Amino acid sequence: METEIKELVNYRINRAFETLEVAKMLLADGKYKDANNRSYYAVFYGIKAVYALENKDFKKHKTLLANFNKEYVATQKFPRELGKKISTLSLIREQSDYNDFYIASKQESQQQVEIAEKLLAEIKKYLQQQ
């Protein structure tokens, strides 16, 4: 792996885990909508780390997620159930960020953090194998 690509992969996966830690702090502080946002972004940065291996990047979230599902989930490089979990993360993040009347619960935010933890563990394992 080229040095520049390796540095980008490391930067993105480190950012993903840092963002997950922020999500956990927000959850503990009762900031559920913000915890949902950070859980999603932790996974978003993790997926971008995977694409850094291929020297690929996407400007739109939906394009990134659709490609990830097509190239990595559908081909079972990652477990199929992760595709649904990523969709849930995205949907709840959008509700939390853009719906003024959306009420995020502690249980929901806890699930979001747990999903992000599982997804990042899978992504980290995949990156280490490359």
Q: Which residue in the block uniquely carries the two structure tokens 């997950």? A: 20
Return the CATH number at 62: 1.20.120.330
pTM above 0.75, yes or no: yes
Domain total of the chain:
1
DSSP character at residue 70: I
Give the helix/strand (H/E) hosting 118.
helix 106-129
In the three-class reduction of DSSP (H, G, I as helix; E, B as strand; rest coil), residue 59 is classed as coil
Alpha carbon distance 36, 97 (integer Å) = 9
Question: pLDDT tens digit string along 80-130?
Answer: 888 889 999 999 999 999 999 999 999 999 999 999 999 999 999 999 998
User: What sign for the dihedral angle of Cα 29, 32, 37, 42?
Assistant: positive
The parent domain of residue 57 ranges over 3-129
In the three-class reduction of DSSP (H, G, I as helix; E, B as strand; rest coil), residue 79 is classed as coil
